[in-house]
Homo-oligomer: A and B are copies of this chain.
Amino acid sequence: MSEPVKVEVGLGERAYDILIGPGLLARAGAEIAARLPGARVAVVTDENVAAAQLPALQAGLEASGVASTAITVPPGEKTKSFSHLETVVDGILAAKLERRDVVVALGGGVVGDLTGFAAGIARRGMPFVQIPTSLLAQVDSSVGGKTGINSPRGKNLVGVFHQPRLVLADTETLDTLPAREFRAGYAEVAKYGLIDRPDFFYWLEKNWQAVFSGGAARIEAIAQSCRAKADVVARDEFETGDRALLNLGHTFGHALEAAVQYDGARLVHGEGVAIGMALAHRFSTRMNLASPDDAARVEAHLKAVGLPWRLSDVPGGLPDAEALLGFIAQDKKVSRGTLTFILTHGVGRSFIAKDVPASEVLSFLRENHPG
């Protein structure tokens, strides 16, 4: 088996490696034992991932003599709640894990966010290893240490920054993903090109079919994405500045997710981000910040890969422009009552725009609203 690609996340004493490639579930025990000798493991996963991937991981741990226990939660966004957080923390403590043992997240973004939060608060912080099994989790939520749950007041409003000790992105786990889920994760891959890596975006325009097919191009796209995110996170671990760039497409996207009441049958996160990125580029042209050609190029690529890119692509209709603005204003990236957006001067030239007039956003939403 070929060696995995390694991406280093440079966070000083919290630095860690991301390993990317096939067969990493089988190597998990060896990689964990090498970094955390003698540690016992609690694996947190959801029912679906448990059925598909847990036996391979358990075999991989056992092969290196790493003792483990499994904690299984229901799949889906509703699992990011105080109630499931309490369940996972209690499972870790019930297994009598100590502060030098390890909590492993095996699953997508929901499992990663919930488990990282539980690891961050059990015994005031335990070592944490991410084994992301969705494309979205491999390129986004497993890098950067953001963990958390949702609140009735909004998504991801409760959590901690807790960096993993190791991320194992086993690309074989992506082979069984539903096509829609893989495609939604791809929106975040494209995002890294649009933020500040234009050459990566142009590469994706040419190679996206190979990325979707698997193999070397997919590993390369995941590694590039992790490098891009790691660079931003290393500059701004606690999101006091540049890290906000990672929210490109997310202010519009979160509002759309809220508008469909987080109904994944209508819109999943990556799809909201895809529409949000297209809107951010189109809004930037309206503000005379970017060329319409760039907005059209982004829209064309999202359309080509089969992602939604405009408001009318959300099935089942949307509330009116005023209501959408209301969802945007509730977004946590509102600072002192003003609206902050990630806008762009063109492909790969995004920036943080503070004090964006709500009236401009409202007019823009009206012009682009299908209803």
Contact = CB atoms under 8 A, between A and B. Distances in A.
A85 to B, nearest CB: 8
Given A86-B82, A160-B160, A336-B98, A154 B124 contact: no
A185 to B, nearest CB: 23
Interface in A98-156: 98, 100, 117, 120-125, 146, 148, 151-154
A154 B120 contact: no
A125 B161 contact: yes
Interface stretch (A87-95, A250-258, A290-298): A87-95
Contact of A158 (B122, B146, B334): B122
A154 B86 contact: no
A160 B98 contact: no
A209 interface: no
A202 interface: no
A90 B124 contact: no
Contact of A82 (B82, B100, B238): B82
A100 to B, nearest CB: 8
Interface residues of A, number: 34
Given A121-B158, A121-B160, A90 B153 contact: yes
A93 B123 contact: no
A303 interface: no
A93 B124 contact: no
A89 B151 contact: yes
A308 to B, nearest CB: 29
A198 interface: no
A336 B100 CA distance: 9
B160 A146 contact: no
Nearest to A239: B124
A191 B158 CA distance: 36
A332 interface: yes
B120 A151 contact: no
Contacts of A86: 82
Contact of A160 (B125, B148, B239, B336): B125
A89 to B, nearest CB: 6
B125 A335 contact: no
Contacts of A117: 121
9 contacts: A89-B151, A94-B153, A98-B334, A98-B335, A120-B160, A122-B157, A124-B146, A125-B161, A125-B238
Given A82-B85, A90-B151, A93-B158, 6 more contacts: A93-B151, A93-B157, A94-B153, A98-B332, A98-B334, A124-B161
